[in-house]
Amino acid sequence: MSVTRAPKTARAPRSGSGSRGAFRQGRLALLLLLPSLVVVFGIVVYPLLRTLYTSLFDVNSAFPGTYPFSGLGNYLRAVQSGEFWAAIGRTFYFTLSTTVLEVVFGVLLALLLNAEFRGRWLLRSIVILPWALPTVVNGAMWRWIFNPEYGALNALLTQLQVIPEYRSWLGTPWMALNMIVVADVWKMTPLAAFFVLAALQTIPRDLYEAAWVDGAGKVRSFFSITLPLLTPTILIVLVLRTMEAFKVFDLVYVMTRGGPANGTQTIAYYTYVEAFSNQLFGYGAALAYIIALFILFFAITYMRLLRRGEVEY
């Protein structure tokens, strides 16, 4: 047994020794990566390029055919459209408010989950619930709670005499947008908290003990130890959530369908309406590329942060 395998043993290389080994590794890597490359880029790259191509034409039906070339016309149309900028504005508002709230509440929640108290395991389990709830169910749930005639929020607030009569929470654009923010924050804060909790658990205890010996109180040690050490994680959560929030579609679809008076149309929803309801595929494609550019910017930021993110003590 050992005789036949002896030559192989002699060659068993530590990784990357010699150019021949590197060449072999390259070939093996290509072989191993090929299935993933086919599955991912086979499905993504062609549509991505085709979207770019489509965005240069006035495509107004799902069927193949010849459509007039319009160059950057679709992009210009977007930039000159008031609806487009309104949708961008709402998207920025939604993104900024959800991200900030989720990070702030996420840090507070993580601190709580990291504190020592009886029943902590139970709270840690409960916190998973919103995160695991499907987004569409979350939307349907809040829509029901915010219902103007039978909703639980109205019932609760009138019975507690906070408001005198039932209100239409999703009835005015500004209020509806904020209610979507509430639904998103409820669902996604736990995710931010998990990230922060993981980072909290890596902070060595002696740091706090040293600070305590030096006479620093809890608040002081939070701001001079915890927060600085959490900063890389917080930045990552911030960018990850920004990217997700910028794409928001399902919550809007389920809770308001973009209404009232288009007041909750985010940019992804606006693109969906233009492309699939109005069959303006060319214009929709241009809008999609504009969104992708925004996300690309966030993604580059994220990768930069990841590279810097390795904390040392």
Partner 1 sequence: MQSSVSSRILIYAAAIFTAAVIIAPFLWLVISSLAAPADLLVRPLRWVPENPSLSRYAEVFSGAGSAASTFRAAMVNSAIVATSSVLISMGVGIFGAYAFARLRFRFQRAILLLFLSTYMLPPIAILISLYLTLVQLRLLDSKLGLVLVYCSFITPFVLWIMSGYFRGIPRDLEDAARIDGCSRMGALFRVVLPLARPGLLATALFGFLLAWDEFLYALIFTSSLGSKTIPVAIAEFTGRNAVDFGMIATGGIVASLPPLAIAFLFQRYIVGGLAAGGVKG
Site for partner 1 in 209-238 (CB under 8 A): 209, 212, 218, 232-233, 236
The DSSP output letter for 277 is I
Does residue 75 bind partner 1 (CB under 8 A)?
A: no
- Distance of alpha carbon 115 from alpha carbon 218, whole angstroms: 12
Does residue 312 bind partner 1 (CB under 8 A)?
A: no
Q: Give me the least distance between CB of 162 and partner 1, in Å please.
A: 14
Segment near partner 1 (CB under 8 A); pick from 76-84, 90-98, 130-138, 168-176: 130-138
Closer residue to partner 1, CB minimum distance, 169 or 246: 246
Does residue 115 bind partner 1 (CB under 8 A)?
A: yes
Q: Tell which positions 38-57 bind partner 1, by CB under 8 A.
A: 39-41, 43-44, 46-48, 50-51, 54
- For the chain, the 3-state helix, strand and coil shares in percent, each to the nearest 5, are 75, 0, 25
Q: Give me the least distance between CB of 262 and partner 1, in Å please.
A: 17
- Asked if omega into 260 is within 30° of 0 (cis), the reply is yes
- Distance of alpha carbon 196 from alpha carbon 102, whole angstroms: 11
59, 285 Cβ separation under 8 angstroms: yes
Does residue 261 bind partner 1 (CB under 8 A)?
A: no
Does residue 22 bind partner 1 (CB under 8 A)?
A: yes
Q: Give me the least distance between CB of 189 and partner 1, in Å please.
A: 9
> Which residues in 189-223 are b (16+ Cβ under 10 Å) and which e?
bbbbbbbbbebbeebeeeebeebeeeebeeeebbe
In 3D space, the residue among 91, 115, 10 whose CA is nearest the CA of residue 272 turns out to be 91
Among 8, 160, 215, 217, binds partner 1 (CB under 8 A): 8
Q: Tell which positions 292-311 bind partner 1, by CB under 8 A.
A: 292, 295-296, 298-299, 302-303, 306-307, 309-310
Residue 168, classed as helix, strand or coil, is: coil
Residue 57, classed as helix, strand or coil, is: strand
Q: Give me the least distance between CB of 147 and partner 1, in Å please.
A: 7
Does residue 272 bind partner 1 (CB under 8 A)?
A: yes
Q: Give me the least distance between CB of 260 and partner 1, in Å please.
A: 14
Residue 69, beta-bridge partner list: 57
Q: Tell which positions 154-173 bind partner 1, by CB under 8 A.
A: 155, 158-159
Max alpha carbon distance in the chain (Å)?
A: 90
| Extended strands (E) in the chain | none
Does residue 148 bind partner 1 (CB under 8 A)?
A: no
Tokens (6 digits) for 138: 């979350």
Does residue 81 bind partner 1 (CB under 8 A)?
A: no
Does residue 29 bind partner 1 (CB under 8 A)?
A: yes
Q: Tell which positions 173-202 bind partner 1, by CB under 8 A.
A: 186, 190-191, 194-195, 197-199
